[in-house]
Each structure stands twice: as C-alpha cells, then as structure tokens.
Amino acid sequence: MAETMLDEAYYKLLHDLQAVDFVLVELNLYLDTHPGDEAAIAQFNQYAELRKRIAAQYEAAYGPLMNFGHSMSKTPWQWKEAPWPWQV
Amino acid sequence: MFVYEKKLQYPVRVSKCDPLMAKFLMEQYGGADGELAAALRYLNQRYTIPDKVIGLLTDIATEEFSHLEMIATMIYKLTKDATPDQLKAAGLGAHYAAHDNALFYTNAAGVPWTASYIQAKGDPIADLYEDIAAEEKARATYQWLIDLTDDVDLQDSLKFLREREIVHSLRFREAVEILKEEQDRKIFF
C-alpha cells in the first residue's frame, strides 16, 4: 500500500515502454487477421527489438517486470517488492 | 501458460476520491459486458473455434485481462481513501458491509458476476457474433462512463479503453470473413 516515491524518470521510462507495447499489441492483433502483410511483420519485429532494449533499461533501474524467470533478480529477491501497477 | 507483467497497459490516474464513480465503473469490472466477462468468454471459446482464429481469441482475451487490471486500478484509486460515510453516501454501504474496501466482481448495481453473462455455442459464427456484440456493448458502456465523470485524467484512461473495444470489434468482424471464406472454399473444392 505504501506509495514509493518514484521520480520523473520512472514515469518517462514506463510511458516509453507502454507506448512501444501498444504498437506491438496493435500490430499483433492486426497480424492475427492479416498474416500475409510483410511490412507489418517487419515493423512488428523491429518494435519487438526496441521493446527488449527499453524493458532492459527499465528493469536495470526499477527491477523485474515479469515473473517465472522471464526477468532476472538481484539479491534480495526483487520480484515481491512494491510498487505494484495500481500503486503508481 | 500465463505470465504476469508488472505494469499497466495504459496509465490510470485519478484526480480525486470519488466512490460514486467507482460504483459506476464496477459495471466494467463484474458486469455482463465487462472486462472479466470478455476475458473469460474469449479464453473459453478458443478450444472449439477453427485454428485460423484461435490466435486472435487468445490475444484479445489476454488484452482484456490487462483492461480488467486497469478498471480495478481505477476503482482502487477512487475508493482507497474513502470513509465508510463517504461509501454509504455513494451507495456503497452494502458493499462496505460485505467487503470493506475490497474490490469484488459485481456490476454497478451490486449484482455478482455470473457465468450466464457469457456464451459458448460451439458454432464459430454464433460465437464470433456474440463477441462482436459484446465489444459494441462495452464500447457504449465506456461512453456512458465517460459522460458520468468530469475527471479528465479518468476520462483519458476510459477513452483508451473505449477505442480498444472498437479495434477488437473490427478484428472479430475480420475473423468472421476469414471463416466464411474458408467455408466457401470447402464447398467448391
């Protein structure tokens, strides 16, 4: 419940990640019904690469984004630390 | 399997404590055309829909869970500082008596979520038409919710969700056309 003090840089990086992820969700759904669109697939792959870079930057600064081994942890175990998404 | 990502799909900010608006938002939390119903409807239909549209149902169902989390965040933020008196004045006295400030899957009138809100007919066209209707009803609900608040931060998040319903409806319509084409091919060859 404790609202961690997060700086402006946190919200900027989170916003960048949400923006690139929005592009990927949109392209993903579009490709589900337009599987032959080569340009859209190229764009999807390009943004998937960009996504990896932004997520790595976010995790280095603010901890793991995903559970079950999709993100690494420092010691002590970082995953269980607040803030959770509804607390920021 | 499912993995969790520790972030919202789109930012949720509210500018004041507003338990009455939280009550209205419960329509999209545990209501008939809400996000829980949407996610469970699509996830469950996947198993008997033709292969060509399983991916789409999987992806939209997954996105709906992200929307459920956004709605939960709105309700949480709008009620976390509310006193019992404020909740009572907002029509949430009965909710408080049963749940304190906890969230619960009900519609705006306090009726608990039920599986009878969703269908699985096993007929791909019938199922997809239900999905299209569900998206259009959710879009309309988001418009009514936007009309019910003057909180511009909240309106911003609700507008994002309203637009997503439009995109989902469009994709489901395309899925119907894909299945019709496939059906026609089977008849002629």
A52 lies in some domain: yes
Q: Which amino acid is at A53?
A: R
User: Can you tell me the mean pLDDT for A14-35?
Assistant: 98
Q: How many domains does chain A have?
A: 1
Alpha-carbon gap, residue B83 to B76, rounded angstroms: 13
**Residues in chain B within 8 Å Cβ distance of A14:** 7, 11
CA distances from B8 to A61, B65, B96, B109, B122 (A): 18, 10, 27, 27, 33
Please answer yes or no on whether B4 and A84 come within 8 Å at the CB atom: no
Cβ–Cβ of B171/A21 closer than 8 Å?
no
Residue A55: inside a domain: yes
ipTM of the complex: 0.95
Q: For chain A, what's the residue count?
A: 88
B64 labelled binding-site residue: yes
Is A29 a domain residue?
A: yes
Domain span at residue A53?
Answer: 8-87
Residue A46 falls within a domain, yes or no? yes
The answer to the question of residue A1 being in a domain is no
Q: B19-107+119-188 belongs to which homologous superfamily? A: Ferritin, core subunit, four-helix bundle (1.20.1260.10)
Residue B172 pLDDT: 98
What pLDDT score does A1 carry?
43
Residue A42: CB partners within 8 Å, gap ≥ 6? none
Q: What is the mean pLDDT of chain A?
A: 94
In which residue are the tokens 């608990």 written? B112
The answer as to whether A60 is a domain residue is yes
Torsion, Cα of B91, B92, B93, B94 (10° steps): 110
B163 is in an annotated binding site: no
Q: What is the dihedral of CA B84, B35, B146, B72, to 10 degrees?
A: 30
- Whole-structure pTM value: 0.96
Residue A3 lies in a domain: no
Q: Hey, are the CB atoms on A86 and B76 less than 8 Å from each other?
A: yes
All residues of chain A having their beta carbon less than 8 Å from the beta carbon of residue B63 are 25, 29
Mean pLDDT by 10 residues, chain B (189 residues): 97 97 98 98 97 98 98 98 98 98 98 97 97 98 98 98 98 97 75
Q: How crowded is residue B85: how many other Cβ atoms within 10 Å of its Cβ?
A: 10
The answer to whether B164 and B142 have CB atoms below 8 angstroms apart is: no
Q: Which residues of A touch B76 (CB under 8 A)?
A: 86
CB contact under 8 A, B171 and A70: no
Tokens of residue B83, six digits? 């006193």
Distance from CA of A31 to the nearest CA of B (A): 9
